[in-house]
Amino acid sequence: MAGGAREVLTLQLGHFAGFVGAHWWNQQDAALDRSGDAKEPPGELCPDVLFRTGRTLHGQETYTPRLILMDLKGSLSSLREEGGPYRDRQLDAAIAWQGKLTTHKEELDPKNPYLQDLLSAEGVLSSDGVWRVKSIPKGKGPPPVTAAKPVIPLEGGVRVWSDFLRVHLHPRSICMIHKYNHEGEAGRLEAFGQGESVLKEPGYLEMLEDRLHFYVEECDYLQGFQILCDLHDGFSGVGAKAAELLQDEYSGRGIMTWGLLPAPYNLGEPQKNIYRLLNTTFGLVHLAAHSSLVCPLSLGGSLGLRPERPVSFPHLRYDATLPFHCSAILATALDTLTAPYRLHCAPVSMAHLADMLSCAGKKVVTAGASIPFPLGPGQSLPDTLMQFGGATPWTPLSACGDPCGTRCFAQSVVLRGVDRACHTSQLPPGTPLPSPLHACTTGEDVLAQYLELQEPRALSSSHLLRSPCSVAPPYPHLFSSCSQQAVDSIPVFGALCSSSSLHRTLAGLARELTKLDLRRWASFMDAGVELDDVQELLQDLHSLAQCYQEGDGLTD
Amino acid sequence: MQPRETTAPLPLPTAGRNRRAAAALWGSGQGLRGARPRGQGAGPRGVAAESAPPEGRERQRRPNSRAHVSAGSLHKRPRLVSGAGDIKLTKDGNVLLREMQIQHPTASLIAKVATAQDDITGDGTTSNVLIIGELLKQADLYISEGLHPRIIAEGFEAAKIKALEVLEKVKVGKEMKREILLDVARTSLRTKVRADLADVLTKAVVDSVLAIRRPGYPIDLFMIEIMEMKHKSETDTKLIRGLVLDHGARHPDMKKRVEDAFILTCNVSLEYEKTEVNSGFFYKTAEEKEKLVKAERKFIEDRVQKIIDLKDKVCDKSSKGFVVINQKGIDPFSLDTLAKHGIVALRRAKRRNMERLSLACGGIAVNSLEDLSVDCLGHAGLVYEHTLGEEKFTFIEDCINPRSVTLLVKGPNKHTLTQTKDALRDGLRAIKNAIEDGLEQPTLGQSKSEALNSVWVSHMGGKNPGCVVPGAGAVEVAIAEALIKYKRKIKGGARLGVQAFADALLIIPKVLAQNSGYDLQETLVKVQAEHVESKQLVGVDLNTGEPMVAEDARVWDNYCVKKQLLHSCTAIATNLLLVDEIMRAGMSSLKG
């Protein structure tokens, strides 16, 4: 479509993935608004990569995420499956039945004040029942919320991701899995096998294929898929099956998988904990087999059974028990990490990025990010980078423990939101240079040089972007340093890194799995996983962990 | 006859021994009751109304029982509105059960069985729930008087075996001509959508199955594509003897309408993509890179040229059209080249459509362009594109002897489309069942499809002996009658189990009568009397409330649906009864 953007289709599988996704789309939407307002030259990130232009039956232009999301029955709350600009109230009311009608109406889920505010600000259902948007979302964006104090969604008021979603979704985006319940005790999607079997059913499979087809067919230069997938519940199985399908159907395209885990878990529920471990392990191994790159994302300290403290950020205060907060941080990281394949000019294609990071079967990578990047006033980039000293500048986001003392094989680093003026050192000529970084003439060089210093043996690629990450509301207010004024964008430093810490993590998972007596968890096995599968899984896990072994005799 | 239950209005569960099961059932019953399809032939079949409802059906039912007060009158159809305002309109028990959030384990078990019934046979969901509920209710009467559930279960088992024998006797083997298939489909569809729509769908469904049926092979319903189009009204739903694809050509210069066209189906990538895995270009200068890219590009251009050559060869300046349908992608450059040569090209066809394409238009789907020849090409009389908003549809019609067809579902909104689609699926299944029920049952160790294959091939030779059973509750009345006679041969308490089973089955004609607005006891007694007198299979006429001979009224049900019903209902009811007994034993031992 527009300008030959290399399109990417996003799949969001699971409820936490929905949270992360909702934050991410909000952030992108906010970035769109800003670039439109200031009449700047188009930003560095090309929105057409993830969004698509469409047209409703009434000829209204739409700009919606190129997205397929799956969630369980009862998880949408006030969001309609077929909503937004594509609605037509008049036609919806037409009923194909002549006789009397009994209406069984669920209590209308109240829209929270935030959503109501949003609704009134941007569009009206005109009297003939056709949705009219006051302004075209693309370019101009919805009119800035003129109210003196925009309503910010309350942390307590957010139960599901649709409570704070700003963007409209295309009617083909939402796939509901009616077989399982979102809430309640019965009918949960809790095991990997259940998830796999969902996509073995012809009904759901056809639904997914149809939607894939709809989005993919219109793409001229599809570069790949990104899968946001919950790892802790049965959605890991859905993700594994979906990745397999994509690999079969669209060979040669990149498949980036982000395995998401909500941070804390309760030791009080041993069954849930065991299930989480099993699902995560099964998910990781199967996803690694079928996608180009897999990256677990979590604010938790470890993937294993024993909980560790959630990670902390030097400049953030967040509540690890709130998915609303955790997902916001992960979304910010995602927005930064995925930048290389979303660039306007000279993008690195998804497949290339994956190739670079995953040499010799190292398909699992870790992520890290420094949110916000602590660029003090008056400081230049070299100054800030030198401040870190030898320590890793970013907080690990993959639940693989402290990256200290581990080796990095390959990394892709993105720094965004740093003003061009600060890129290089502004020291008056003649002053002795505090570090070699200060001698570099461009920001790109500074970054490359820094990475070279940090990880001399790693294959590094770096990107330096001027546009910051947008954190306008409904992004939660997490910043401790500048608590007074509202921040609407921050610099972020993120890295994807194939690190030897994965050896420890993956081997640890294998160890814990071996110790488990799986016959005790018969209900997990009932769902279609057999003991042989577990053996095979362990094999795969061991060989995957082997890839990350340090000191294989060649280097040391 | 056993008059007791016909006079007793659904009793509320008393403090009987089987309290838990009863309470559980009641809990589920409430849940189901609230949303149970009320209407003509809810679940079980009544006579399909040919005309507008007569006044008789509008009259108020006598509020003679507590449970019935909440019941809607005839033709009420539940509309479900979700918390976000999404609408679902349905009378199909299966759809309702899937929509409901059922938390109670017993209720959820019953619901699962019912939906499994639908998965296997495509029908009978509501009957399933009704019969299981009624079996438990009848059992509760005896258990509260001190009969052990195990003995009831024995009775159920004996009754089931007898009932299956009766079913075997009453089934009607017929040659499945179009007329009788129409009757079967109509009976099924009338319970799911309104009458005029049902008639439209009936014809479409029967004709589509007849179109894809090949003597000597089992019917493959996958060869009927169901395509939805948000357009016009639901009565515009029709059968397309060809294929409808939900995408179109992606080039502005390609023709929107091609007549007398060759169709090339292929699975060949026509887009320039970087070669897979770790083989980036190695180049030193910009020119060198350019050259490499060009060489890569040339590879794709050669493929496109092969298609163009073939087109020039077969069309040879005639006015014939040429359409390429590719499963893989086609990039804009290739599209441009193809458009210049007057070729219409569709990319990214669905995998499942590839097989259908060659069945509909003939030709073979090719995986490589190396040995393209005229033999690979299919043919269609008319190919045209239809645009709706951002969606495009490509119609491939006028095919010679298509063996794959499309049911094009139309409707103004999503819930209408879904409703029509669900109905079509059930209709298709009903016809398939009717045709295939005529076959001998698979022997042990042989899968159904194997058995079908061998039987089809060896015996049929082009004839279509199918098998159906009379609907409108006639079968249930007949079985109940037979069971009452049979129970005298049973000794001991199990006799009561047989009695309970017979009584439970009568819920079907009772609900039929009730939902049409008649007095259920009066109707039931009349039907039973008529059955005994005439020795024919008599059911309820929903238009008049009078007994009628189901066969004459052309109300047919599927044999396999009834059979499955008897099996699964007995199994589940028995299990629930026994589980309850075990639980109770456990509870008392805990207390003591």
The pLDDT score that the predictor gives to residue A9 is 93
Using the beta-carbon criterion (under 8 Å), do B247 and A251 form an inter-chain contact?
A: no
CB-based burial of residue A372 (10 Å sphere; 0-12 exposed, 13-18 middle, 19+ buried)? Answer: buried
Q: Rounded to the nearest 5 degrees, what angle is found at the Cα of B254, between the Cα atoms of B253 and B260? A: 145
> CATH number, domain at A219?
3.40.50.1440
Quick check: B98 contacting A, CB < 8 Å?
Answer: yes
B559: tokens are 């044999």
- What's the rounded mean pLDDT across residues A123-139? 42
The reply to whether residue A352 touches residue B280, judged by beta carbons under 8 angstroms, is yes
Q: Is residue A444 part of a domain?
A: no
Q: Which of residues 495-524 of B touch A (CB under 8 A)?
A: none
The minimal CB distance from A104 to the residues B73, B78, B412 is found for B78
pLDDT value for A482: 56
Interface of B with A in 437-476 (CB under 8 A): none
Q: Please compute the mean of the pLDDT values over residues A229-253 and round it to a whole number.
A: 90
Better pLDDT: A350 or B590: A350
B351, B399, B394, B404: which is closest to B245 by C-alpha? Answer: B394
| pLDDT of B76 over the 50 cut | no
**Residue A239 banded pLDDT, cuts 50, 70, 90:** very high
Cβ separation A100–B416 shorter than 8 A: no
Distance (Å) from the alpha carbon of B299 to chain A's nearest alpha carbon: 16
Instruction: State the CB neighbour count (10 A cutoff) for residue B319.
Output: 8
The predicted-structure confidence for B530-554, as pLDDT tens digits, reads as follows 888 887 788 887 777 778 877 777 7
**Closest of B533, B587, B543, B567 to residue B127, by C-alpha:** B567
* Contacts B103 to A, Cβ<8 Å: 184-186
pLDDT for B78-109, tens place per residue?
666 665 666 666 666 666 666 666 666 777 77
- How close does chain A come to B174, measured CA to CA in Å? 32
| Residue A473 Cα, gap to closest chain B Cα (Å) | 23
Least confidently predicted of A225-239, A275-289, A534-548, B560-574? B560-574
- Asked if B238 reaches chain A (Cβ–Cβ under 8 Å), the answer is no
Taking the CA of residue B208 and the nearest CA in chain A, the distance in Å comes to 21
The two beta strands, A489-490 and A395-396, are unpaired
Distance to chain A for B70, nearest Cα, Å: 11
Which residue of chain B comes nearest to A3, CA vs CA? Answer: B332
Q: Answer yes or no: do A56 and B389 touch at CB < 8 A.
A: yes
Strands in B29-185 per DSSP E:
77-81, 87-89, 172-175
Contact: B77, A102; criterion CB under 8 Å: yes
Instruction: Report yes or no on A496 lying in a domain.
Output: no
- Nearest-CB residue to A184 (from B101, B194, B234): B101
Average pLDDT for residues A498-508, to the nearest whole number?
88
CB contact under 8 A, A59 and B389: yes
What's the token pair of residue B538? Answer: 């008599």
Q: With the CA atoms of B231, B237, B241 and B244 taken in that order, what torsion angle do they form, in degrees rounded to the nearest 10? A: 30
Range ranked top by mean pLDDT from A69-78, A105-114, A218-227, B464-473: A218-227
Least Cα separation, residue A161 to chain B (angstroms):
14
Give A16 to chain B, closest Cα distance, Å. 20
Instruction: Give the C-alpha separation, A254 to A222, whole Å.
Output: 9
Q: Give tens-digit pLDDT for B141-196.
A: 888 888 888 888 888 888 888 888 888 887 777 777 778 888 888 888 877 777 78
Instruction: Assess B55–A contact: CB distance below 8 Å, yes or no.
Output: no
Please indicate, yes or no, if residue A207 is contained in any of the structural domains.
yes
Q: Kindly indicate the confidence band of residue B318, based on its pLDDT and cuts at 50, 70 and 90.
A: confident
Residue A62 domain flag:
yes
- pLDDT confidence of residue A520: 79
Average pLDDT over residues A517-536: 81
Q: Given an 8 Å threshold on Cβ–Cβ distance, is B194 in contact with A105?
A: no
Q: Is B58 on the interface with A (CB under 8 A)?
A: no
Question: What pLDDT is stored for residue A1 in this prediction?
Answer: 37
pLDDT classification of A229: cutoffs 50, 70, 90: very high
Across the range A499-527, mean pLDDT stands at 84
For residue B103, give the chain A residue with the closest CA: A186
What is the pLDDT at residue B30?
31
d(CA B465, CA B451): 16
> What is the pLDDT, as a whole number, of residue B24?
36
CB pair distance less than 8 Å for B280 and A355 = yes
pLDDT digits (tens, 9 = 90+) for A413-443: 999 888 888 887 777 777 777 788 888 888 8
Q: In this complex, which of B39, B103, B280 lies closest to A186 when CB atoms are compared?
A: B103
Confidence band (pLDDT; 50, 70, 90) for A66?
A: very high
> How many domains does chain A fold into?
1
Give dist(CA A295, CA A254) in Å, integer.
14
Nearest to A181 among B73, B101, B273 (CB): B101
**H helices within B9-104, ranges in order?**
19-35, 66-69, 93-99
List the single residue in B with minimal CA-CA distance to A250.
Answer: B328
Query: What's the pTM?
Result: 0.79
- Of A506-515, B314-323, B547-556, the one with minimum mean pLDDT is B547-556
Contact A98 B194 (CB under 8 A): yes
Cβ-Cβ contacts under 8 Å, B82 against chain A: 76, 80, 106
Q: What values do phi and psi take at A221, rounded to 5?
A: -130, 60
B456 Cα to chain A: minimum distance (Å): 26
pLDDT confidence of residue A110 = 65
User: How many angstroms separate the CA of residue B333 from the nearest CA in chain A?
Assistant: 10
- Choice among A311-320, B30-39, B369-378 with the minimum mean pLDDT: B30-39
Contacts A115 to B, Cβ<8 Å: none
CB contact under 8 A, A94 and B413: yes
Residues of B in contact with A76 (CB under 8 A): 82-84
In a domain, A442, yes or no: no
For chain B, give the mean pLDDT: 73
Contact B82 A106 (CB under 8 A): yes
Residue B481 structure tokens: 């009658």
Sign of torsion over alpha carbons A353, A354, A355, A357: positive
pLDDT digits (tens, 9 = 90+) for B114-140: 777 777 777 777 788 888 888 888 888
* Strands lying side by side in the sheet with A174-181: A174-181, A67-73, A8-13, A224-230, A254-261, A293-298
Whether B307 contacts B338, CB under 8 Å: yes
Token look-up 């004709």 returns B207
- Measure CB to CB from residue A106 to each of B81, B105, B194 and give the nearest one: B81
Q: Which residues of B touch A108 (CB under 8 A)?
A: 83-85
pLDDT mean over B571-589: 71
Predicted local confidence at residue B78, as pLDDT: 60
Nearest CB to B412 within list A91, A109, A184: A91
Are A366 and A501 within 8 A, CB to CB? yes
- On whether any CB of chain A is under 8 Å from the CB of B374, the answer is no
What the block records as the tokens of A268 is: 């009080």
Probe site for chain B from A88, A104, A108, A162 (most B CB atoms < 10 A): A104
Nearest residue, CB atoms, B89 vs list A56, A96, A109: A96
pLDDT-derived band of residue A243, with 50, 70 and 90 as boundaries?
A: very high
Rg (CA), chain A: 24
Q: What is the pLDDT of residues A70-124, one digit of tens each?
A: 988 877 777 776 666 666 666 666 665 566 666 666 666 666 666 666 666 554 4
Q: What is the reported pLDDT for B320?
A: 85
- Report the b/e string of B57-92 with b at 16+ CB within 10 A: beeebeeeeeeeeebbbbbbbbbbbbbbbbbbbbbb
pLDDT band at A473 (very low <50, low <70, confident <90, very high): confident
Residue A383 lies in a domain: no
pLDDT band of residue A555 (cuts 50, 70, 90) is very low
When pLDDT is cut at 50, 70 and 90, the band that residue B357 belongs to is confident
Strand segments (E) across B304-368:
321-326, 344-346
Residue A357 CA to chain centroid, in angstroms?
18
Query: Mean of the pLDDT values across residues B405-411?
Result: 86
Q: Where are the beta strands (DSSP E) in A266-327?
A: 293-298
Q: Which residue has the higher pLDDT, B570 or B415?
A: B570
Establish, for the pair of chains A and B, how many residue pairs have beta carbons separated by less than 8 Å.
158
Top-confidence range, A240-244, B148-152, B298-302: A240-244
Cα separation, A194 vs B550, in Å, equals 44
Best residue in B94, B98, B101 for a mutation probing chain A (most A CBs within 10 Å)? B101
Q: Which residues of B touch A83 (CB under 8 A)?
A: 84
Report residue B552: phi and psi, to 5°: -65, -35
Residue A69 covered by a domain: yes
Q: Are B211 and B405 in contact (CB under 8 A)?
A: yes
Q: What percent of chain B has a predicted confidence (pLDDT) above 90?
A: 1
A18 located within any domain: yes
A72 contacts A176 by C-beta, under 8 angstroms: yes
Residues of A in contact with B105 (CB under 8 A): 186
The pLDDT tens digits of the residues spanning B416-459 come to 888 888 888 888 888 888 887 766 544 444 455 555 554 444 44
Cβ atoms < 10 Å from Cβ of A310: 17
Closest Cα in chain B to A56? B389
The per-residue pLDDT for B519 is 83
Q: Got the DSSP string for A448-510?
A: HHHHHHH-TTSEEEEEEESS-EE--TTS---BSTT-SSPP-EE-EEEEEEEETHHHHHHHHHH
Smallest Cβ–Cβ distance between A57 and the set B101, B247, B389 belongs to B389
Contact A290, A199 (CB under 8 A): no
State yes or no: pLDDT of B507 exceeds 90: no
Mean pLDDT of chain A: 80
| Cβ–Cβ contact B112 with A under 8 A | no
Q: Which domain holds residue A68?
A: 7-97+107-324
More confident residue, A284 or B110: A284
Q: Quick one: tokens of A342? A: 């979303």
- Does the distance separating the beta carbons of A98 and B83 come in below 8 Å? no
